[in-house]
Structure 1
Amino acid sequence: MTPEQNDLMCRVEGGAPMGRVMRQVWLPACMSEEIAEPDSAPVRVRLLGENMVAFRDTSGRVGILDEQCPHRRASLYYGRNEGCGLRCLYHGWKFDVDGNAVDMSSEPAGAKLRESMRTRAYPVQESGGFVWVWMGDPAAPAPFMPPVWSAAPDERIAIVKMHAACNWAQVLEGAIDSAHSSSLHSTNMPTATDVSGSTATDSQWLRPSADKSPRLQVDRTPYGFRYAAIRTPIRDPGTQDYIRTTLYIAPFTVMIPPTDRYKLIQMLVPIDDENCMFYWIAWHETQGISAQAWRSFCGAVPGEDVDPVTFEKVRNARNNYLQDRAAMKAGDFTGIYGIPAQDMAMWESMGPLADRSEDRLGSSDKAIFEFRKLALSMASAAAEGRVPNLPGFTARDAPSFEQLVPKTVDWRDVGKPAA
């Protein structure tokens, strides 16, 4: 890629074409639990370089407003959440979830300004443990499609949230890179001879293959693309393949192969050009994992591993991700606790916005190559004023899967939903 192509694909701030692409879909603004109670403290939300504030009012309605008060630009984050509105501390102006000024205590009762004053309010939906925001044309939001995991009961949905100090695209490229898991995460995903698929314990995902160089096959789909990483299994290598399929759901979602206990999806949401929010959802309709257990497994417990407000990591570049070289000598591959922190060390070490003109891609990077082609086509369309088609993922689409498959079976035919 040229530096110009890299910027076109990655940058989202202002009028950047990829930012326009992102505005064609509903974006996760925060977790519902961050504003769980009516009149609780508001939270800051930053997406695509814009600062907002989310809050739940007295009646339980959720609103997302421009962070700056339209009066004198003070931050509403410090405001009082009371009486079905968010009140600015500076002069007492209060705005409801729709952006209407419902009180302007510093203005006389008959002031004409009272009749028209409002602030920018964004369309909001709440589903699957998230508050979703529409940042495109406020008059024409796309129909909201509940996320695939919202079909599971709330208690079987577990969410990890973690700040990544780098551009969203290099995080996404990590999510669709099946080959890296066999090395970087080999301590967490060890080979086991007595399993037939990814088998989750409290501390590891056991795998039936030691093959570190998967063969990749990629197919475009209406929602993005789907690819298979084909590995040689330990048992019956002459008649079976170990296949793991991953879905890229444009523009920022990746459904990765499940375990025997839960399904997995990641959202890599742009904060600005050099930061993104990493969400990792584990869910299952009948099994699942508790939120506490999932966060502990990932090394992402708020208040212990991540800041409970900003979700910045305790293990970060400033302290070398608390890498333990003694543990490495004792057999731990990375010496870094938790799959997300291991990934973050790699992603952030590329710099805040990676220079892809220096990359040397190999055969295991077919999905990376496909993503770059697709992302560039979406951004190029937006740059030319054409709205890219982003249909999303539905129950009609084949989900990700991982399993041993006879060599005579085409991976494209595995995991299809019932007609």
Structure 2
Amino acid sequence: MTPKQNDILCRVEGDAPMGALMRQHWIPACMSEEVVERDGTPLRVRLLGEDMVVFRDTEGRIGILDEQCPHRRASLALGRNEESGLRCLYHGWKFDVDGNAVEMSSEPVDAKICATMKTKAYPVHEAAGFVWVWMGDPKQVDSFDPPAWSAAPDDKIAIVKMHAACNWAQVLEGAIDSAHSSSLHSSNMPTAGNVSGSTATDEHWLRPSADKSPRLDVERTDYGFRYAAIRKPVQEPDKQDYVRTTLFIAPFTVMIPPNNRYKLIQMLVPIDDTNCMFYWIAWHETEGISQDEWRKFCGAVPGVDVDPVTFRKFRNAENNYCQDREAMKAGDFTGISGIPIQDMAMWESMGAIADRSHDKLGSSDKAIIEFRKQMFSAANAVARGEPAIGTGKDRIPHAQLSNYEGMVGKDEDWRDRM
């Protein structure tokens, strides 16, 4: 990719085409647990380069407003959340969840400005453990499409949240890259000859293959694309293949291969041009993993591994992700604890926006190539005034999408297992 093409793929702020594409989709603003308290502390959120404040009012309604008060631009994140509105500390102007000024303490009661004053309020939808925001034209709000994990009960949904100090696209490329797991995560996903698919324990995901160079088969779809990473298994390699399928659900969601206990989805949500928020959801309709277990397994416990408010990592580039070289000598492949932190170390080491013109891609990068081609084309389509990828009345509901992980006979098509 040329630097100009790379910018179109990565940049989301202002009038960037990719940002315009994102604005035609509902975007996760935060987890519901971050604003669970009525009249609780307002939450700062930054998405696509825009600063907002999220709050739950006295009646339990969620509001998302422009962070800056329209009066003199003081931050509403510092305001008082009380009596069904958010009050700016500077002059006492108070706004409800719809952005209406319900009190303006510094103005006469009969002042004309009191009847017309509003601040920017974003359409909001709360579902499946998240608060979702619509950042596009408020007159063209699309119907909310429940995510795949919405079919699971709340106690079978676990969420990891972590800030990544780089652009959203290189994080998403890591999420769709099945080949890297055989190396980078090899200590967490060791080979075991006695399993027929990914098998979760408290500390590992056991795999039935030692094959580090899968062959990839990619198929474009209306929602993005899906592909199979096909490996040679330990058992009966002449009769079967070990197949792991991944779905890219435009614009920022990846359904990665499941294990025997839970299904997995990642969302790579752009904060601005050079930062994104990483969400990793583990869920299952009947099995699953608890929230505490999931965050501990991933090394993403708030207050222990990440800041409980900003979700910035305590192990980061400044301290080399606390890499343990002695552990590496003893057999640990990376010396970095936790699958997400291992990924973060790779993504962030590329720079805030990786210069893709220097990439030397191979056959294991078919999904990466497809993502770049598809989303570059999709961003340009939006710039021409066309609908965003994954929208429209004929789209496949996300709750109907699924993937596969396991053995497939040599004479079978992996698509039949989806």
For normalisation by structure 2, the TM-score amounts to: 0.98
Deviation, 1:224, is 0.4
Q: Is the 8 A contact 2:91 2:106 kept in 1?
A: yes
Q: Which runs of 5+ in 2 are unaligned?
A: none
Partner of 2:379: 379
Structure 1 residues 145 and 400, CA gap change in structure 2 (3 angstroms): same
Task: Determine the C-alpha separation between the residues in 2 that align with 1:296 and 1:70.
Answer: 42
Corresponding residue for residue 302 of structure 2? 302
Report how far residue 398 of structure 1 moved. 4.7
Rounded to whole Å, the distance in 2 between the matches of 1:395 and 1:69 is 36
- Residue 117 of structure 1 is matched in structure 2 by 117
Secondary structure in structure 2 of the residue aligned to 1:125: strand
CA distance in 2: counterparts of 1:146 and 1:101, whole angstroms: 32
Shift of 1:393: 5.0
In structure 2, the residue matched to 1:399 is 402
For 2:105, the aligned partner's letter is S
Give the drift of 1:395.
5.8
- Residue 252 of structure 1 contacts residue 268 of structure 1 at CA under 8 Å; is this kept in 2? yes
**What secondary structure is seen at the aligned counterpart in 2 of 1:4?**
helix
**Cα distance in structure 2, aligned partners of 1:384 and 1:171:** 27
The 5 Å alignment of 1:14-413 reads 14-391=14-391, 394=397, 397-413=400-416
Query: Does the residue aligned with 1:301 lie in a helix, a strand or coil?
Result: coil
Q: Could you tell me which amino acid in structure 2 is paired with residue 66 of structure 1?
A: D
State whether residues 147 and 399 of structure 2, in contact with CA within 8 Å, keep that contact through their aligned partners in structure 1: no
* TM norm structure 1: 0.98
Whole-angstrom distance in 2 between the partners of 1:396 and 1:118:
36
Paired amino acid for 2:336: I
Tell me, what secondary structure is at the counterpart of 1:139? helix
Query: Contact (CA 8 Å) 1:249, 1:393: kept in 2 or not?
Result: no
**Aligned residue identity for 1:411:** W
CA RMSD of aligned residues (A): 0.9
Amino acid of the structure 2 residue aligned with 1:404: M
Aligned equivalents of 1:247, 1:95: Cα separation in 2? 41
- State the alpha-carbon separation in 2 of the partners of residues 353 and 343 from structure 1: 16
Please state whether the residue corresponding to 2:268 is helix, strand or coil. Answer: strand
> Greater CA deviation, 188-197 or 389-398?
389-398
Q: Output the amino acid matched with 1:402.
A: E
Q: Give unmatched runs, 5+ long, in structure 1.
A: none
Instruction: Please give the alpha-carbon distance, in whole angstroms, between the structure 2 residues aligned to 1:25 and 1:176.
Output: 20
Aligned-pair identity (%)? 73
Give the aligned residue type for 2:69.
C
Question: How far apart are residue 67 of structure 1 and its match?
Answer: 0.2
Amino acid at match of 2:114: R
Structure 2 letter corresponding to 1:34: E
> In 1, distance between residues paired with 2:98 and 2:360?
49
Q: CA deviation at 1:394?
A: 2.4
Query: Matched residues in 2 for 1:201 and 1:88: separation?
Result: 49
Contact 1:265/1:281 (8 A) holds in 2: yes
The CA deviation at 1:383 is 2.0
Residues 151 and 399 of structure 2 are in contact (CA less than 8 Å); yes or no, is this contact kept in structure 1? no
Kindly provide the CA deviation profile for residues 16-71 of structure 1, in whole angstroms up to 9, marking residues without a partner as x.
00000000100000000000111110111100000000000000000000000000
1:388: Cα distance to partner?
A: 2.4
